[in-house]
């Protein structure tokens, strides 16, 4: 069975601080995809990134960066110089890359990020 | 990337009634899914909507309670049947497009 753990339930920072959201996963599959989504107060789920299990390169997109380490089964997300607009719930998710479970996302419990001005 | 719309965006319903939620994708997608997000909780997969055949339900979800249709590659419906207050949730449709999964804006359902 797959499992995604986001141990940080809530994080509160002041604007311009850097913040890292942790994600640890469990899967027996050798090929899988990891995702991060943002859910602002309006409720829609915004896709941020997808990472293939074979690609361990870290990725940077503007103020966002992701650190994928298979050795520790972690896929952490860092926001640099946080802004008030970053306040949202962030979800980490996992799916198989093939088989009957392909496409079915297993979500972590989410981390509520609040950025104060 | 695919754009997904849902109707209605929100509804307030009486217990014992049923509500059908529509999901429309602006391009053909191979796979479509329905998720539920109970208040303050994470997302849980209800079922995979299969085009032209019966949906595949996850453990804890049954067809009689959540009948799903998918007549083509761009459209699906989820019905929440015989509703109770415990069904109050956000229901989200998603589509898989080139190994990326996109979500609709969700339907906020409140059952009184």
- Mind listing the pLDDT tens digit for each residue in B3-46? 999 999 999 999 999 999 999 999 999 889 999 999 999 999 99
**Inter-chain residue contact B43 with A105, CB threshold 8 Å:** yes
**Inter-chain residue contact B1 with A103, CB threshold 8 Å:** no
Chain A partners of B61 at a C-beta cutoff of 8 Å?
none
Interface contact B33, partner A, CB < 8 A:
yes
**Inter-chain residue contact B33 with A103, CB threshold 8 Å:** yes
Q: What is the pLDDT along chain A (117 residues), one digit of tens a residue?
A: 899 999 999 999 999 999 999 999 999 988 999 999 999 988 899 999 999 998 888 888 999 999 999 999 999 999 999 999 999 999 999 998 877 777 899 999 999 999 999
**Inter-chain residue contact A50 with B99, CB threshold 8 Å:** yes
Across the interface, which of B41, B45, B102 has its CB nearest the CB of A104? B45
Please report the pLDDT score of residue A83 as a whole number: 97
Distance CA B106, CA A44 (A): 6
Distance CA A59, CA A35 (A): 13
| A111-116 vs A10-14, strand pairing mode | parallel
State in Å, rounded, how far the first CA of chain A is from the last one.
Answer: 41
Interface contact B2, partner A, CB < 8 A:
no
Interface contact B97, partner A, CB < 8 A:
no
Strand partners, B56: B48
Chain A partners of B38 at a C-beta cutoff of 8 Å?
none
Please report the pLDDT score of residue B107 as a whole number: 97
Interface contact A66, partner B, CB < 8 A:
no
Residue B109 confidence (pLDDT) above 90 = yes
Cα→Cα distances A18→A37, A41, A64, A112, Å: 18, 21, 10, 15
**Inter-chain residue contact A37 with B1, CB threshold 8 Å:** no
């Amino acid at each position: 069975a797959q499992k995604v753990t986001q141990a940080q339930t809530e994080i509160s920072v002041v604007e311009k601080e850097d913040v890292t959201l942790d994600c640890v996963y469990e899967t027996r599959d050798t090929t899988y995809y990891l995702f991060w989504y943002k859910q602002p107060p309006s409720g829609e789920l915004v896709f941020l990134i997808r990472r293939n299990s074979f690609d361990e390169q870290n990725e940077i997109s503007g103020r966002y960066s992701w650190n994928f380490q298979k050795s520790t089964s972690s896929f952490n997300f860092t926001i640099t110089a946080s802004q008030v607009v970053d306040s949202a719930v962030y979800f980490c998710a996992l799916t198989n890359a093939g088989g009957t479970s392909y496409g079915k996302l297993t979500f972590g419990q989410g981390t509520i990020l609040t950025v104060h001005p | 990337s695919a754009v997904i719309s849902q109707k209605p965006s929100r509804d307030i319903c009486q217990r014992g009634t049923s509500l059908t939620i529509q999901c429309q994708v602006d391009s053909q997608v191979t796979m479509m899914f329905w998720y539920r997000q109970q208040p303050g909780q994470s997302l849980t997969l209800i079922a995979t909507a299969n085009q032209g055949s019966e949906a595949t339900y996850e453990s804890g979800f049954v067809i009689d309670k959540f009948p799903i249709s998918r007549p083509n590659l761009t459209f699906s419906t989820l019905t929440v049947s015989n509703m109770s207050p415990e069904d109050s949730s956000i229901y989200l449709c998603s589509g898989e497009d080139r190994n990326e999964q996109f979500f609709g804006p969700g339907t906020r359902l409140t059952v009184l």
